[in-house]
Amino acid sequence: MEKQQQIVMSGIRPTGLLHLGNYFGALRNYVKMQEEYECYFMVADLHSLTTHPDTKELKQNVHRVLAENIASGIDTDKAALYCQSHIHETAELYLYLNMLAYKGELEKTTTFKDKVRQQPDNVNAGLLTYPVLQTADIVLHRASLVPVGKDQEQHLEMARNFVNRFNHRYGDVFPEPFAFNYGSELVKVPSLDGSGKMSKSENQNATLYLADEDEVIRKKVMKAKTDAGPTEQYSQKPDYIENLFLLMKLVSAPDVIEKYENDYNNCVIRYGDMKKQLGEDMVKFISPIREKVNSILADEKYLQGVMEKGAEKARKSARATIEMVRQAMGLNYY
């Protein structure tokens, strides 16, 4: 397929295990996009330093995120898969963009205010300028399509502001970046405790990780909240039951889902059986990914090759952009 002109860029912070929400919300979209667009997918290791200054586990976490991307279907021949810190041009662009970002607007950012609350003893400047670094990641490849979740909308709005300020002052260099997820509907992957979404850090027993062992998956699913079942035909499902059906729709066969829908509507549903089925279908879905991740992690040489190849591709695009930026800014004295 002839690739489209627009460029796709996104990043994942290596601060925890990837879960089913990351898979259906992000990775699966990446895999589709790599067929149609020039794509840059990045492990945001520098961003993780704003909240995780201790780097003891960083290498391991970076390797894991890379392996999880590949095991989920990222093809390193199609997309550039790389580490943020390998591309030094990012730091340079971050510096230039920092001159166009105002303290007031940075302080108003929702994610910044959240972090101030979560880590009052480490309100560092990196945290404040987090959205500037993110903008640098994106526009370093002159990307305009950014597959991210709702929580990143504000960062993208800020990125558009920084880009417009740059273009206005120094000339048109960057396209405006927008959140992009194939149509408007993001797949919601509910957590197993009936409230909220699956999450990297919160309620880990209600989140299914790509790294979970089969027995752990079964146990977590069996613990999901249910009740005695409906007493009236075709009644509305409570949230926690609706969520079980949503999860089933992600991994189970259509006839299985239909059977439990019918059982529910006819008030003969057995939630124990349903959860057993869901547990098995989750195991069938997750275990091949987990095994693939493990075999990739066992091969450090291969991972090193992946990182080198990704960095080379990303650097090529980064250097071209930085050259344009320096010219536009008048930082060319020879």
241 lies in the site for ligand TRP, by CB under 6 A: no
10 lies in the site for ligand TRP, by CB under 6 A: yes
Q: Is 197 a catalytic residue?
A: yes
Residues 138-167 that bind ligand TRP (CB under 6 A): 138, 146, 148, 152
Neighbours of 238 (CB within 10 A): 13
87 lies in the site for ligand TRP, by CB under 6 A: no
Residues 31-70 that bind ligand TRP (CB under 6 A): 44, 47
DSSP 143-209: --EE---GGGHHHHHHHHHHHHHHHHHH-S--PPPEE--SSSPPPP-B-TTSSSB--SSS-GGG--B
- Residue among 33 and 44 whose Cβ is closer to ligand TRP: 44
Query: Whole-number minimum distance, CB 84 to ligand TRP, in Å?
Result: 7
Structure tokens at 45: 């290791």
Answer yes or no: are the C-beta atoms of 151 and 199 closer than 8 Å.
no
Choosing from 134, 207, 243, 277, the residue that interacts with ligand TRP (CB under 6 A) is 134
- Residue among 140 and 251 whose Cβ is closer to ligand TRP: 140
Q: Is 103 a catalytic residue?
A: no
Catalytic residue among 78, 200, 225, 309: 200
90 lies in the site for ligand TRP, by CB under 6 A: no
Answer yes or no: are the C-beta atoms of 179 and 153 closer than 8 Å.
yes
Amino acid at 159: A
> What is the total count of residues that contact ligand TRP (CB under 6 A)?
12
**Partners of 40 in beta bridges:** 9, 80
Q: Is 115 a catalytic residue?
A: yes
Structure tokens at 117: 């609350």
248 lies in the site for ligand TRP, by CB under 6 A: no
Q: Output 104-108 pairs: Cβ under 8 A, ≥24 positions apart.
A: 105/158, 105/161, 106/131, 106/132
Report the catalytic residues: 115, 197, 200
Residues that bind ligand TRP (CB under 6 A): 9-11, 13, 44, 47, 134, 137-138, 146, 148, 152
